[in-house]
Amino acid sequence: MSHIRFPRSRALTVPAVLLAVALGATACGGHDTKGGGDPQAGKGGSGRSASPTPTGPRVTVEPAADATAVDPAAPVKVTVPDGTLSTVTVTPDGTASDGVRPVEVTGVLDAAKHTWTSDRTMTPGTSYTVRVTAADASGTQTRTTSTFRTVTAARINGVTPTPLNNAVVGVGLPVSLAFDKPVVNKAAVEKALSITTTPAVQGSWGWITDPLTGIQRVDWRPDTYWKPGTKVTLTAKLSGIDTGNNRYLRRDVHDTFTIGTARISYVDLKAKTMRVTENGRTVKDFKISGGRADFPTWNGQMVVIGKQSTIRMTSASVGIATNKDAADFYDKDVKFAVHITTSGTFTHAAPWNDALMGVRNNSHGCVGMRTADAKWFFDRATRGDLVIAHGSTRATVDKGNGYGEWNLTVDQWRALSALG
C-alpha cells in the first residue's frame, strides 16, 4: 500500500472522534475533580490545620469559549502545563448553517501529552464542542467543556471529483478535482489532498486550466500509465479551506476506484487507420477518416472522457459555421460517439464518409469510422482509455483540453504542483 501525501507532524495522532476544538483562550472553569483532602481536616481536637482540596490540572483551550466567527483554518489548541491530557475531542453540533454535514476535527498530541493541536480545517458556519480530560501528577482528573462557532461563509466554492462511486476506469484517467471558481490558495488545497494506492504508484498533483471552458482542475497523474487491477483511494480534507478571497470549500471528498483493462488505441492520420490494443495485444485494426487539411485532428495522447450512443453535433457548437447555407455547416445526429477532448473531438460513426475510410481524411477534426467499427469501439470504450493520434498537421492537444496531461514529461508535470 503506497501513501502519497503531504508531510505532517509525526506526533501522536488522536483519532478523529477524539478531536477537541475550542475551549476558551483561558478556559479553566467548568471542570469536575476526583480526590479530596485529609478526612480529618477541619475537625476539632486533631491539632492539625486543614489541607487544601486538590483541584486537578489547569486546562487552557483556544479559541476562547463561546467565541464566534472563528476562522475555519484557525488551530484548536488544548494545553495542560502542569498535567497530562487523557482525551481531547472536537465534535460538530448538528449540521452547518447551510445544511452541510460538518467534519470532525483531528489533531496531534505532543510526546509529553501537555499539548494537543488540530491538524485540519473546520466546516464554516458550524458550532463545535471541545471536551477535554486531563490529570495531574497525583492522578486527580479534570474535565473541561467549551464551545465555539466558525464564521459563516459568505461565498463558497464547489468541487467535482473524477472518478466517482467505485468506478472501474482505464489506465489513462488521472484523479481529478475540478473547481467551480478559480483557486488562488493552491498550496492550501493541495496540502489537504492524498492518494493511496495498492500496489505502490509514484505520481504528482498538477494544476491545469481547460483552454476552452476555463475550468480549473488539480489532477493527480501517475508517472506512467496505471497498471490494471490497481486500487486507488482519494482523500481530500477540503471542508473549511479558503480557496481565495474568503471563498470557502464546504465538503470533504473520499472515493475509491479500480483500474481496469489497459485499452490503448493508436490513430495513424497519415495511413488513416486505427489500431486498438488491450493489455498490450492488438485486438482490432480498421480504417478511419480523420480531420481534413483545414480542420486537422489533434496530435497527441487523449483520454476517453465519456460516450453517448447518439449525440447531436453542430458546426455552430465548435465555432465553424452558424449559417446553414455555409459550405461547412452541419447539424447531425451522430451514432456511437466517444468523447476524447473538451474542445469537441470524438470518435464516431461517419457513414457519409464510408467510401473515404482509409483513403482520405474528410472530417472536421473527429475520427470517423464505418458504423460497425464505431459500434465495436463504442461497446468497449471506458472512461480513462487512451487514444493516441499522430501524423496530423495540427499541434499536440493542450494539457487541459480533456485529460491531455499525458503529453507532458514527468518533470514537466511535477512542475505544475503548487508545492514545488
| 271 and 383 housed in the same domain | yes
159 shares its domain with 143? no
Residue 343 shares a structural domain with residue 313: yes
Per-residue DSSP letter, 212: T
Mark whether 354 and 274 lie in a shared domain: yes
Q: How many CA atoms lie within 13 A of 14 on its CB side?
A: 30
Cα gap 179→160, rounded to integer Å: 6
Residue 287 is part of a domain; what is its CATH number? Answer: 2.40.440.10
pLDDT in tens, 139-194: 999 999 999 999 999 999 999 999 988 999 999 999 999 999 999 999 999 999 99
Q: For residues 28 and 220, give the distance between their C-alpha atoms in angstroms, rounded to a whole number.
A: 45
Confidence of residue 100 (pLDDT cuts 50, 70, 90): confident
The answer to the question of residue 45 being in a domain is no
Give the whole-angstrom CA distance, residue 195 versus residue 274: 34
Residue 269 Cα distances to 116, 129, 277, 291, 292, angstroms: 62, 63, 17, 8, 10
β-pair type (60-62, 115-118): unpaired
Q: How confident is the model at residue 324 (pLDDT cuts 50, 70, 90)?
A: low
What's the pLDDT tens digit per position in 29-78?
334 433 333 333 333 333 333 334 457 799 999 999 999 999 999 999 99
User: Is there a domain that residue 49 lies in?
Assistant: no
Shared domain check, 398 and 274? yes
Total structural domains within the chain: 3
Model confidence pLDDT, tens digit, residues 328-365 = 777 789 999 999 999 999 999 999 999 999 999 999 99
Residues 230 and 274 reside in one and the same domain: no
H or E stretch covering 176: strand 175-179
Examine residue 416 and state whether it is found in any structural domain, yes or no.
no
Say yes or no: 321 and 400 in one domain. yes
Domain boundary among 108, 131, 152: 152
Taking the model in full, what pTM does it have? 0.82
Domain around 187: 155-260
In a domain, residue 47? The reply is no
Q: Which one-letter amino acid corresponds to residue 101?
A: R
Whole-angstrom Cα distance, residue 134 to residue 86?
5
The mean predicted confidence, pLDDT, of the chain is 87
Q: Are strands 216-222 and 203-209 parallel, antiparallel or unpaired?
A: antiparallel
Within a domain: 287: yes
∠ CA 17-13-105, rounded to 5°: 40
